[in-house]
Structure 1
Amino acid sequence: MKIKDLHTAFLANPSVSTDTRKIKEDDIFFALKGDNFNGNAYAQQALDHGAHLVIIDEKEFYINNKTILVDDALSTLQDLAHYHRKFCKAQVISLTGSNGKTTTKELINTVLSSTYKTIATKGNLNNHIGVPLTLLTIQLDTEFAIVEMGANHLKEIEFLCNIAQPDFGYITNFGKAHLEGFGGIEGVVKGKSELYNYLIANKKSIFLNADDVTQLKKLSTYPKKYGFSSDNSKYYNIKLLDAQPFVAIAVENTVIKSKLTGTYNFSNACAAIIIGKHFNVELSKIKHAIENYIPENNRSQIVNKNGHYIILDAYNANPSSMKVALENFDSLKREQKILILGDMFELGDAAKKEHQDIADLAINLNFKQVILVGENFNATTTKSIKLRDFADLKVYLEVNNLQPKSSILIKGSRGMALERVLKLI
């Protein structure tokens, strides 16, 4: 079946699935493969659950005319998404970066949806599967699609750009994330900049944080850029008023009081503001959208439990995000501060040094108590409470109650799943 014909079938039943456990009536099921599964083996189950079509790439699983045999199911999914993106009239805004992608994407969507019909990446479905799935949620009347792009190696953003063909782009920052795959911070900058490269080559527009020296230098001669800055008069001026604990912003004699904690969320909110302004969203609507956005999914959430004030930032971590989180926590005007930090993953040969640097910073900031969890943190030389894994942390907290009315920062990589700590407090 040609992509054009498959797209016609998709328009008649515009919903796709890659998981038979979540399949809905009349979905088109794509039989994807992974290291530990083969979606082809679930073709019959998909039909039994009501799938309209099943896209397979192994002929032994062919069942009837509702099963479509292709050379590669994943490539077909990507080609269908690319075709649909070109078929629809929505403008695509893509964003990437080391930290803050998902929060920034949510803020942009919140702002633009106040005025336009939008769709956005759900959760963090931002890879070679998630981006196509996002594009396939674009409807014929969608005006903006906000597409998050993640990467842990070179050429990945370039590949995603060729599928999504963004009209606009924004990079949150360049930080020490996925150092193992990128081969160091230089690789991170090069990899994330593939979004810039695509936009420049296609003469598309770029949004930027003009206070970020690396971004400003890379785009110094590019004319189609729109930036925000706290002090550079060439760009749209936005000021940080406060972050105790929530970020408050001054823009055009208007104060926006967000529910975002941490100074690191200032630039995330600024991106949403400038993108909203660029597309003529009224400032009053921008203010309302940002002030009513509440972070969730373990991203800088404020939790009050048993008298403790908890910042739950356990969705993910890397050396850059960990450093700013610790510095922000140190700046808060609160007493009895306790850190519970989990290992940072995908750092490769830099893991030992980066964990030692964060452990040293935690001690030097002189918090009341520092609890480090994970094999990498356990191997550091700092004089703190060091625990090998979550099981050891559970035992420690069951025996040693945290001091009453503490302020607690919980942060670690996704694989550490430190949100489980809440049940122990």
Structure 2
Amino acid sequence: MNPETFYPLFLQSSKITIDSRKIEKNDIFFAFSGENFNAATLAEDAINKGAFAVIVEQREFENKQRKIYYVPSTLEFLQQLATYHRNQLKIPVIALTGSNGKTTTKEIIHAVLSQKFNVQYTFGNLNNHIGVPLTLLSIKPEHEMAVIEMGANHQKEIELLCKIAQPNFGYITNFGKAHLEGFGGFEGVIKGKSELYDDLKSNGQTILVNENDPIQFEKTENYSPKITFGKEGSDYFFEEFSKDNFVGLSFNGNKAQSKLTGNYNFTNLCAAASLGFHFGLEFAQIRAAIQNYTPTNMRSQILEKNGKTFVLDTYNANPSSMAESLKNFSKFEGSKTIIIGDMLELGTESEVEHQSILELANSMGFDEIITVGKHFKNVNKSSQAFENSAALSEYLQSEKISSKNVLLKASRGIALEKALEFIN
């Protein structure tokens, strides 16, 4: 079985699934097996549930009469099928990656472009070697463009994802201290993320550039085609403003107020607006998208509860994003408590980076600093250092946080949002 032969069957199906528990009628089930589980054993059951076809990587489970097909690798076949499907599409594919803000930026870009186009985009955080193919394979004939988020924690990942998705446009949100362990330090981050630039350049495709970012500027200097924003001489120039802790952008005197906090989100708004203008949207359409977009994914999400303002940013954290969150939160009016959790995947740099963040927090005059996680506990010798979110939750059941504003920021593995229900 090869992608070209299988493609007509794919076109007859409803969608691709890799979760046997979520199989619906007319789905194609890719039986991914783990170390302790052979998903191919579920092939017949999947067909009985209504699956249109099943892909397995154990030949003994093949049954062509029941549309159960053998391939040497379900993962490689998924990727190959996605690329084959991509090659049939005649729509723009926009790829984005970066150390911070890529998911929020993806969401805003989708919101903006959807004012004019039928846009398919990465759902949730499906941005890896499995998620990108699944997103591509979810593109239907009615879609007019696609926005594909690409995540990576080591080099050559973005290169692979670009080969699969073959983007026409690309944007790197920033280069930060994320996944230092996998990338081999900050220079490794720059090299790994820049694989998107390498792919776009080699294929003569368009790069979106924030000209206020010196790395982006240097790596795309003298390259064409590109779309630029950030400076007065750029293709698009926006001015920042804020109201009630929310950031907005102004373009030629016209304003768009978002429901996002932090000047780092101003850059994300600018990227989306620039693409909107490039694809022919009016400012009124861009403004409507920005004003109506409400973050609900634990990224820069502002909540009001019991007279307090909470900034919930617990989906991801690294030294770069943590520092920006603290700087932004320090500008809030009124008393402020920060609850910050461990930043993961920092390797040998972990202790020094956690120490640096703690020192930064102590210099900002917050009313209360609470840390969660083993890495912070190693450097924070106060009584406000907790081993995990469960220990923090137990503490909060008897101790009250009196501050008007509360920031919760941590890597996903800390699950810091669980403590929210115990803060009165």
Question: How do 1:375-390 residues align onto structure 2 when only pairs under 5 Å count?
Answer: 375-381=374-380, 383=382, 385-390=384-389
Residue in structure 2 matched with residue 415 of structure 1 by the alignment? 413
Q: Within 1, Cα distance between the matches of 2:300 and 2:234?
A: 32
Q: Within 2, Cα distance between the matches of 1:64 and 1:80?
A: 18
Is the contact made by 1:359 and 1:382 (CA closer than 8 Å) also made in structure 2?
Answer: no
Q: Aligned pair 1:354/2:358, yes or no? A: no
Q: Deviations over 1:70-107 (max 9, x none)?
A: 11111111111000011121210000000111111111
Residue in structure 1 matched with residue 39 of structure 2 by the alignment? 39
Q: Within 2, Cα distance between the matches of 1:241 and 1:89?
A: 38
Residue in structure 2 matched with residue 6 of structure 1 by the alignment? 6
Question: How do 1:264-343 residues align onto structure 2 when only pairs under 5 Å count?
Answer: 264-332=264-332, 334-343=333-342
Residue in structure 2 matched with residue 111 of structure 1 by the alignment? 112
Structure 1 pair 64/222, CA: closer, same or farther in 2 (3 Å)?
Answer: closer
Question: How do 1:119-138 residues align onto structure 2 when only pairs under 5 Å count?
Answer: 119-138=120-139
Q: Aligned pair 1:77/2:78, yes or no? A: yes
Q: Deviations over 1:146-185 (max 9, x none)?
A: 0000000000000000000000000000001000100101
Identity of aligned residues (%): 48
Q: Within 1, Cα distance between the matches of 2:218 and 2:168?
A: 22
Residue in structure 2 matched with residue 402 of structure 1 by the alignment? 401
Is the contact made by 1:247 and 1:257 (CA closer than 8 Å) also made in structure 2?
Answer: yes
Cα distance, 1:122 vs structure 2: 0.2
Cα distance, 1:382 vs structure 2: 5.4
Q: Within 2, Cα distance between the matches of 1:35 and 1:317?
A: 29
Residue in structure 2 matched with residue 141 of structure 1 by the alignment? 142
Is the contact made by 1:84 and 1:136 (CA closer than 8 Å) also made in structure 2?
Answer: yes
Cα distance, 1:34 vs structure 2: 3.2
Residue in structure 1 matched with residue 370 of structure 2 by the alignment? 371
Structure 1 pair 131/384, CA: closer, same or farther in 2 (3 Å)?
Answer: same
Residue in structure 2 matched with residue 186 of structure 1 by the alignment? 187
Q: Within 1, Cα distance between the matches of 2:37 and 2:317?
A: 28
Residue in structure 2 matched with residue 156 of structure 1 by the alignment? 157
Is the contact made by 1:243 and 1:261 (CA closer than 8 Å) also made in structure 2?
Answer: no
Q: Within 2, Cα distance between the matches of 1:228 and 1:371?
A: 38
Residue in structure 2 matched with residue 90 of structure 1 by the alignment? 91
Residue in structure 2 matched with residue 424 of structure 1 by the alignment? 422
Is the contact made by 2:371 and 2:380 (CA closer than 8 Å) also made in structure 1?
Answer: no
Normalising by structure 2, report the TM-score.
0.97
Residue in structure 2 matched with residue 169 of structure 1 by the alignment? 170
Q: Within 2, Cα distance between the matches of 1:243 and 1:364?
A: 25
Cα distance, 1:141 vs structure 2: 2.9
Q: Within 2, Cα distance between the matches of 1:236 and 1:377?
A: 41
Cα distance, 1:243 vs structure 2: 5.5
Q: Within 2, Cα distance between the matches of 1:63 and 1:223?
A: 51
| CA RMSD, 1 decimal | 1.3
Q: Deviations over 1:247-300 (max 9, x none)?
A: 121112210111111111001110000000001111110110111000111111
Is the contact made by 2:110 and 2:119 (CA closer than 8 Å) also made in structure 1?
Answer: yes
Q: Aligned pair 1:240/2:240, yes or no? A: yes
Q: Within 2, Cα distance between the matches of 1:385 and 1:393?
A: 9
Q: Within 2, Cα distance between the matches of 1:424 and 1:184?
A: 37
Cα distance, 1:124 vs structure 2: 0.9
Q: Secondary structure at the match of 1:370?
A: strand
Cα distance, 1:307 vs structure 2: 1.7
Q: Which moved more, 1:380-389 or 1:362-371?
A: 380-389
Is the contact made by 1:360 and 1:382 (CA closer than 8 Å) also made in structure 2?
Answer: no
Q: Within 1, Cα distance between the matches of 2:8 and 2:60?
A: 26
5+ residue gaps, structure 1, are none
Normalising by structure 1, report the TM-score.
0.97
Letter matched to residue 417 of structure 1? A
Letter matched to residue 414 of structure 1? R
Q: Within 2, Cα distance between the matches of 1:384 and 1:150?
A: 36
Cα distance, 1:60 vs structure 2: 2.9
Cα distance, 1:233 vs structure 2: 1.7
Q: Within 2, Cα distance between the matches of 1:383 and 1:53?
A: 58
Q: Within 2, Cα distance between the matches of 1:43 and 1:352?
A: 47
Residue in structure 1 matched with residue 199 of structure 2 by the alignment? 198
Q: Deviations over 1:8-39 (max 9, x none)?
A: 10111141100011111010000113344432
Cα distance, 1:41 vs structure 2: 2.7
Q: Aligned pair 1:345/2:344, yes or no? A: yes
Q: Within 2, Cα distance between the matches of 1:401 and 1:381?
A: 21
Cα distance, 1:335 vs structure 2: 1.4
Residue in structure 1 matched with residue 258 of structure 2 by the alignment? 258
Q: Within 2, Cα distance between the matches of 1:239 and 1:14?
A: 44
Letter matched to residue 285 of structure 2? K
Q: Within 2, Cα distance between the matches of 1:35 and 1:244?
A: 51
Is the contact made by 2:63 and 2:69 (CA closer than 8 Å) also made in structure 1?
Answer: no
Q: Secondary structure at the match of 2:258?
A: strand
Is the contact made by 1:182 and 1:188 (CA closer than 8 Å) also made in structure 2?
Answer: yes
Q: Secondary structure at the match of 2:397?
A: helix
Structure 1 pair 243/41, CA: closer, same or farther in 2 (3 Å)?
Answer: farther
Q: Within 1, Cα distance between the matches of 2:302 and 2:234?
A: 36
Letter matched to residue 71 of structure 1? P
Cα distance, 1:2 vs structure 2: 2.5
